[in-house]
Structures are given as structure tokens and as C-alpha cells.
Amino acid sequence: MDVTKFVLVIAALSWLMARGTERLGYNWQWYRITQYILSSANGDFFAGPLLHGLIVTLRITAMSLLLAFIFGLVTALFRLSNSFLARVLARGYLECIRNTPLLVQLFFIYFVLSPVFDMSRFASAVLALSLFEGAYASEIFRSGIVSLQRGQWEAAYSLGLSTFHNYRYIILPQAIRRVLPPLTNQAISLVKDSALVSTIAIYDLTMQGRAIIAETYLTFEIWFTIAAIYLLITVSLSVVVNTMEKRIGVTT
Amino acid sequence: MQEEVLGGHIIIVNKITKTFPNGVRALHDFSTKIRRSEVVVVIGPSGSGKSTLLRCLNGLEEIDSGSIVIDGIPLDDNKNNRSAIRKEVGMVFQSFNLFPHMTVFENVTLAQRLVRKKSKQESMDTTMDLLRKVGISEKADSYPSQLSGGQQQRVAIARALALMPKVMLFDEVTSALDPEMINEVLEVMKTLAREGMTMVVVTHEMGFAREVSDRVIFMEQGRIVEEGTVQHFFTDPKEARTKRFLSQIL
């Protein structure tokens, strides 16, 4: 029954699209796409520009994910700390980042900071993305931490655990399990936001696509292919997290 | 030497006052002294400050004025003193507060490893001894959510004992339990009392008080209304307020 519904929906969508492009008078040339992903000559395979771009996107995303996790966690702990300075710092960072566009932050880091600190294009991109996503991640971590019952803190305290040990063994393991789903959302946002780095001439997936379109005018084919590749990354990410959740048994 | 200075008292509470930010005064010039191996049962209506008293005794709540000295160590702003006291005072909560992401074994072992810096083997032996003592060694590898309330509370007692504290605080530890599980927890506590543990127990289990307590304190509005042996409370309580309260819980 569900399968029939699914097929019907897909059929309806395809029909809509076919009608739409017909009206547009667009000449679809899907057969030209494969060479941009993978090309072969003399029995050897060569990665096309889109695959090169994918690798750049993956590298940027992976490094930013790791850094965003750290920024987020540290900021959350700062916001919950007893130190006034730490709280102010964390709050300032959060509000600055959350209330300005990522594109502006990227430009600021690339055009203003990177010449001062002698950062590469790639480093600027990773820094901008991780600072941006880290701000959002910090709120996720914070909500996870404060959602734990006060009794957990009190029990750990009464056992003589230090604040560090308390976070390390009691609070964070439980909090992170709780916030895994929203954290995954944030990671998916990061993957998609990484497309913005094409604006500082990093040849990621999006930039490669634009370059191909400029040469070939295969506008829709390329953009749809790129969208499909992003979809592939984000879906794999969700699957990985899902299995992780099952393995560590997200309960509480 | 120390003993003489303290006059054999392991806990000395002198005129402590605690007012919560919402203006509720939980403790009002409260003073008491508790001897080594003494078992003190604290009773009183809800909101009388019983739980706050326990929470102040191990530093979970800050006192506004007065002083608390435990085993010769003042509970003041000095961080070392505070952490020393936390190690000497074990606490068991009404809502168990076991760590749900750890097994029973890990719950009991954690503080031994982190706080007492015991070796793996040593902490393992202690943990298994304690679990046997509270009659739950076969559940060592279970998670708290797989245990009944009574079992969880026994694990919580074992966890608090793991640091070899000199004083144990029990905060209405049977109030959240089904009636048929109350006894298994009380039995463990009675054993502890007979072994000479200094205990401060907030409870309305007068049967427990009758069997093992040396002294009963009846509190209301942050003050001691009446105190004495359990016989005194059962036979001739002086204050009208005490009589009324007892008639309700007995």
C-alpha cells in the first residue's frame, strides 16, 4: 500500500517536472554529466572536477565539524561556569556569530583576519564555518547539560568528584547522548553551509559546479547533480549517527 | 588529642541559619552536636528544614551564618576543607540519583578510582564487598534502570559507602519506594548502624528509629522543637506540637 503511494507521488512529481521543463524549452543533456564526475581514457579512470570538488568539501566539512564540536562544547561550559569573564566571553561570541550572516563572517575572516595571521584560504574557510556552527552547537550542548536532573550533580558532588571529573564522567556522557539528534541537524547544516566557501574561490563541490556551468551552460543538470551529491553526504551522516545512537542506546 | 578537643563529637553544628533566595528560612539558629557512632533520626513536617540540614552538612547548600565542623574540619570557604568533608560524608538521596549511563559496578567504583585513587584491583574488591553487603552483587553488571527502586537505593548506599565515609546522611531514602521494598533498604541501614557508623537519618520510619536510633530530633520551621531518645518520643513527648505530629505519623 505504502509502496503504491510512493510510486504515485514520484510519478506525479516527475510529470510536473517534465511539464515544467517542456514549457521552459530546456534541452536536457544528462549524458554529458558523467565525464565531470568520472572520466575514462585507455582503461584508466580519472576523477572529474565534481569529484575533486567533493573531496575538498568533505575535507572542509570534516575539519569544521571537529572544530565546531570543540568550540561548541567549550562555549557551553564557559556559559555555565562560575567565572564572570568566561560567561561574558561566551555570550559575546554567541551573539556576534548568531546575529550576523555567515557570508559576512567568511569575508571578514578571509579579507581582514587572514592577512594578519597569515592564514590560507582553506584555513579561513574552516575557521569561519566552525565558528559559525560552533555557536549554534554551544546552545545545543548547553540545553543538554541543563536538562539533566540536579540530582546527578548533587550525587557526583557528594561523592567528592571534582568539577572536571563530574563533567567528564557524569554530565557530558549523558548530555551528549541527549543532544545527538539536534547535533546531527547542525552537522547537516554545516555540510550545506560549506557551499558558501566557493565565494572565496575555494574549489569545493559548488565552485566546481559553477565553473562547469560557466563553460557548458548545463545549468540544471549540474545543479541537480550537485544537490544529489550533497544529499548523499547528509544522508550518510544521518545514517552514521543513527547507528551510533542505537549502539550507545540513547535512553534516559 | 583531637577527640578531646571535640569532646567526642564528630559533627558540631553551631547556630546555622539558611535562608533561600525566595525568602524561605529553612534553618534558624540551628545547633546540635553528634557523637561518633551516634544514630540521629530527624523528623518533622515537610518544609521544616530537615533536608536542608542534611544538605548543609555536606556542603550541598551554603549556610548564611553559623558554623559546621565535621571530624575537626570546618566547613568553610576553604576549598580543601570542603573537599575533605565531602570525602568523609556520604549521602543517600530520596530519588537515588544513580548514574543511569553506568552499570551498578561502575556506579560504585567511580569515586574510589577518581577520588581515592585506588588501583583497579583494589577498587574492584571493595565494590564487590559492598555490593555483597547490600545484597545485590548479582546485579553488578546491570544498569540502574533495570533494577527495582529498593535495589537502586541499596546500590546508592553502596556507592556512598565506597569512599569509606565517617558519617552517612540519609535523606528520606525510603519515601520514594513501594511499601514492600522499604524493609530491604532499612535492613541495610540497620546493619550499618550496628557496625558503628555515625548516621543522620531524615525519615518517618519510626520503627527504624525505635530499633537503632540513639536520639530523635523533631524540627519545625528550621528549629528544634524537641529532642530526646525514641522512648521519650513514644512515651511522654513534652510539646503539644510534637504530640500532634506524632499522632499523624504513627
pLDDT tens string A106-129: 999 999 999 999 999 999 999 999
Q: CA-CA distance, A127 to A119, in Å (whole number)?
A: 10
pLDDT tens string A123-136: 999 999 999 999 99
What pTM does this model have? Answer: 0.84
Please report whether residue A171 resides in a domain: yes
Chain A residues whose beta carbon lies within 8 Å of the beta carbon of residue B110: 159, 161, 169
Q: Is the pLDDT of residue B131 over 90?
A: yes
- pLDDT more than 70, % of chain B: 97
Q: Using only C-alpha atoms, what is the Rg of chain B?
A: 18
Helix, strand and coil in chain A, % to nearest 5: 85, 5, 15
* CB-nearest partner of B114 from A151, A152, A165: A165
Q: CA-CA distance, A117 to A78, in Å (whole number)?
A: 25
| Contact status, residue B148 vs residue B139, Cβ threshold 8 Å | no
- Calculate the average pLDDT of chain B: 90
Cell triple for residue B56?
548543609
Q: Read out DSSP for A11-70?
A: HHHHHHHHHHHHHHT----GGGTHHHHEEEETTEEEE-HHHHHHHHHHHHHHHHHHHHHH
How remote is the C-alpha of A128 from its chain's centroid? 12
End-to-end CA distance of chain B: 43
Task: Give the CA dihedral B30, B33, B37, B42, nearest 10 degrees.
Answer: -20
Count CB atoms within 10 A of the CB of residue B214: 16
Q: Is the pLDDT of residue B205 over 80?
A: yes
Please report whether residue A147 resides in a domain: yes
Interface of B with A in 145-204 (CB under 8 A): 145, 156, 159-160, 162-163
- Identify the residue whose cell numbers are 538521596: B93
Please report whether residue A130 resides in a domain: yes
Instruction: Give the nearest chain A residue to B100 (CA atoms).
Output: A252
Please report whether residue A1 resides in a domain: no
pLDDT tens string B75-106: 988 888 998 999 999 999 999 999 999 999 99
Q: Is the pLDDT of residue B6 over 60?
A: no
Chain B residues whose beta carbon lies within 8 Å of the beta carbon of residue A154: 60, 91, 93, 97
Q: Is the pLDDT of residue A152 over 90?
A: yes
pLDDT tens string B29-52: 999 999 999 999 999 988 899 999
* CB-nearest partner of B110 from A152, A169, A252: A169
Q: What is the reported pLDDT for A2?
A: 85
Phi, psi of B217 (to 5 degrees): -115, 125
Please report whether residue A53 resides in a domain: yes
CATH code of residue A97: 1.10.3720.10
Q: What is the reported pLDDT for A249?
A: 65
| Contact status, residue A160 vs residue B87, Cβ threshold 8 Å | yes
Please report whether residue A84 resides in a domain: yes
- Least confident range from A154-158, B167-171, B178-182: namely B178-182
Q: Is the pLDDT of residue A244 over 90?
A: no
ipTM over 0.85: yes
The strand ranges marked E within chain A are 38-41, 44-47
pLDDT classification of B7: cutoffs 50, 70, 90: low
Q: CA-CA distance, A114 to A111, in Å (whole number)?
A: 6
Please report whether residue A17 resides in a domain: no
The interaxial angle of helices B104-114 and B149-161, nearest 10 deg, is 20
* Polymer length in residues for chain A: 252
Average pLDDT over residues A31-46: 79
Please report whether residue A40 resides in a domain: no
How many domains does chain A contain in total?
1
Q: Hey, is B84 helix, strand or coil? A: helix
| Contact status, residue B198 vs residue B12, Cβ threshold 8 Å | no
Q: What would you measure as the largest C-alpha separation in chain B, in angstroms?
A: 56
Q: Hey, is B227 helix, strand or coil? A: strand
Q: Is the pLDDT of residue A217 over 90?
A: no
Domain holding A71, by residue range, is: 46-248
- Least confident range from A95-104, A170-179, A213-222, B194-203: namely A213-222
Interface of B with A in 19-58 (CB under 8 A): 58
pLDDT classification of B2: cutoffs 50, 70, 90: very low
Q: What is the reported pLDDT for B141?
A: 94
| Contact at CB, A161 and B115, closer than 8 angstroms | yes
Q: What is the reported pLDDT for B188?
A: 93
Q: CA-CA distance, A78 to A85, in Å (whole number)?
A: 9
